[in-house]
Structure 1
Amino acid sequence: MQNNISFNGSRGPTCGIYAEPWDKYVSVATGRIFGAWVDRREGPGFGTVVTHEITPGTAVFVPRGVGNAFQTLEEATAYTYLVTDHWRADATAEYSFVNLGDPQLGIEWPVPLTQAELPDKDRAHPALDDVAPLAPAPVLVPGARGQVGLALTARLSTTGVPFTAWTREELDLADPASWPAEISSGDALRRYRAVVKAAAFTAVDAAETPEGRAAAWAANATSVGALAAACARAGTTLVHFSTDYVFDGALPLDSAYTTDHPVAPLSVYGQSKAAGETAVRACPRHYVIRTSWVIGEGKNFVATMARLAAQGVGPSAVAHQHGRLTAAADLAAGVLHLVDSGAPYGTYHLTGSGEPCTWGQVARWVFEDLGHDPARVTPVSTAEYNGGTNDGAPRPVNSVLDLCSILDAGFTPADSRAVAREEAAAFDGRRSAHDGCSPRG
């Protein structure tokens, strides 16, 4: 992003120790330096010191949050450092410093600091014991009010990861023309280690209408391309949620869709999401997360079945669509695992694990878990559910996604059956609390 060169005509000039809000790649074009680095990041590595002599054949990557210092060892040394952002005056507020001569660090400078040339400001830097660890770079969550957005912000809060949450009122992602220039250019995104886009148009049937079609493409495809371009300019990781609806569901029911299976969406919603996937891949640092049957805070299928069970209603539920439930909280945990672990960029499938099921089976699970007769649930076809018409959007019969990608990345999703049980219990607890009595045991 920005390459800097510092020329030193004599032996002994020493500078540091600065931890800055960007990554660095340091080397020398001519001469030699002694490099010293102090880990200032939160975690067990805080305070770790590494030193190394650098010549023109050596370069060192210094990640954000690691303090950097150097001492010139030869005359006519040209110290170079490539950074991942342009220098900005406002960014200096995020700098952190450690004293070059702090005895706790134990750095053996080739030229003793009493004989070296140091800037006055560097002599005044605090000792390691007097500085707080640096928190990781924040995560940006546009679309923070939806099921996935709420789960993401809850997860970030409980794990202590700094984040910024945007609602539609703060930034309408579906309308790139309304974005501030610093968003479109990517300048405002550089300070984030990841943008996790939780905003989307998910009204599958409404997307089949003229108005819904335009809205789906704007939110799920056109704006995604604009955001991917901004993240690419910023060098920021972009996480994009996609769906089982990018597939036609024609695979045999004993098979699951792999990440490299060709897409063939049946509906306008699925088409817009498939287009969004293509747009995201223009950003070099991207994760496409395909998921299905998400259950989170607010209205969802499990909560609806629990409410109907409590009201004595015998509902109908579609029995020929096959997939797995996904807890929004589990989806959030898996995505942040990918970001935190530095997993390879690309496409991942992240749904609940375990045996596939149908919506009818899920409904019966809920009735059973809450002590109601599961036989009250009537299994029906999609056409029967829609009153004998085919007015709704076509849905894939097989929505089962192969989970090898996320398992290989070191994350094991929750069992789909357990997701239904836990959500039903949570609904029952909320209802009992609202009624002023204890949840049933």
Structure 2
Amino acid sequence: DRFDWDLYGTIINAGAFTAVDKAETREGRTAAWKANATGPALLAKVAREHHITLVHVSSDYVFDGTRDQHTETEGFAPLGVYGQTKAAGDIAVAQAPQHYILRSSWVIGDGHNFVKTMMGLSDRVADPDESLNQVTVVDDQYGRLTFTKDMAGAIFHLLGSAAPYGTYNLTGSGAVRSWKDIAAEVFDLTNGNGSAVKPVSTQQYFEAAKNPVSPRPVHSALDLSKIETVGYTPADWEESLKAYVKAELAARV
């Protein structure tokens, strides 16, 4: 109510509770529903009342991961609390007549993320003063990385081209890989030590966990044909990864 919404033509909601394991706890469950479902529902109400375009970033976790690739029309089947709250948010946003929902997976941006973590571990393996010789990464979850730079480009393409409203998948294009494959590539790009990354199953990785663990979709790859039909060509995630690691290494100097 503190905003004069008539001054705005577009709302871009990139906020979410994304700590998928914490969402399985009592406190995290409350926070996840508030951020991922109630928040988008309130924005959708504003968008309807003020004829604003609402853009909302969603997730592959709204699916159960049983299909090799997911289309925009696949029915919701979330496995855990995070996915349930994201699906609820999608349903709410779709009530705004002018909306774009962009589904992502395995997001990499400027903050803390998987690639930066793997670069740090690669450095430790390469350091003769460290006792770390190898790391284990799950090899039974499959998908593609989504770089936030590409997500932003897709959002502004949809807005600028007046593409039909609705839901679009947006990740990097290219090969579908496991987390282990991606980690090994990051190690190679960072210090040439990709052989230090060893495979482990998801079950083995979490078997000693003392806190709740969210179920993960096995298959997170999203079909990109719909967004390509409106003139946006997603970047190959492997090329984006190379550029990302190169920039991170350059920033160290």
- TM-score category (smaller protein): over 0.9
- Is structure 2 residue 103 aligned with structure 1 residue 290? yes
Shift of the alpha carbon at 1:387?
A: 4.1
How do residues 1-400 of structure 1 correspond to structure 2 at under 5 angstroms? 181-183=1-3, 188-251=4-67, 255-312=68-125, 313=132, 314-389=134-209, 391-400=212-221
The ranges of structure 1 where at least 4 consecutive aligned residues each deviate by more than 3 angstroms after the TM superposition are: 387-391
Counterpart CA distance in 2 for 1:225 and 1:349 is: 21
Contact 1:197 1:239 in 2 (8 A): yes
Shift of the alpha carbon at 1:198?
A: 1.2
Counterpart CA distance in 1 for 2:176 and 2:87 is: 23
TM-score, length of structure 1 as denominator length: 0.54
Percent of paired sites with the same residue = 46
TM-score, length of structure 2 as denominator length: 0.93
Q: Which structure has the higher relative contact order (CA within 8 Å, separation 6+)? A: 2
Counterpart CA distance in 1 for 2:22 and 2:11 is: 27
Q: Decide which of 197, 213, 229 is 1:408's aligned counterpart.
A: 229
- Is structure 2 residue 248 aligned with structure 1 residue 427? yes
Counterpart CA distance in 1 for 2:223 and 2:248 is: 29
Contact 2:187 2:193 in 1 (8 A): yes
Counterpart CA distance in 2 for 1:383 and 1:300 is: 22
- Larger-gyration structure (1/2): 1
Counterpart CA distance in 2 for 1:240 and 1:319 is: 30
Query: Gapped runs of 5+ residues in structure 2?
Result: 126-131
Matched with 2:129 is: none
**What's the secondary structure of 2:155's corresponding residue?**
helix
Shift of the alpha carbon at 1:388?
A: 4.0
Counterpart CA distance in 2 for 1:428 and 1:308 is: 14
Shift of the alpha carbon at 1:359?
A: 0.7
Query: Gapped runs of 5+ residues in structure 1?
Result: 1-180, 434-441
Contact 1:292 1:324 in 2 (8 A): yes
**What's the secondary structure of 1:287's corresponding residue?**
strand
Matched with 2:238 is: 417
Q: Spell out, residue by residue over 1:193-244, the C-alpha distance to the aligned partner (whole angstroms, 9 max, x if none).
A: 2100111111100000011001000000012111100111110100011100
Q: Spell out, residue by residue over 1:162-190, the C-alpha distance to the aligned partner (whole angstroms, 9 max, x if none).
A: xxxxxxxxxxxxxxxxxxx244xxxx222
Counterpart CA distance in 2 for 1:385 and 1:189 is: 47
Shift of the alpha carbon at 1:374?
A: 1.1
More strand as a share of residues: 1
Shift of the alpha carbon at 1:417?
A: 1.1
The aligned length equals 245
Matched with 1:120 is: none
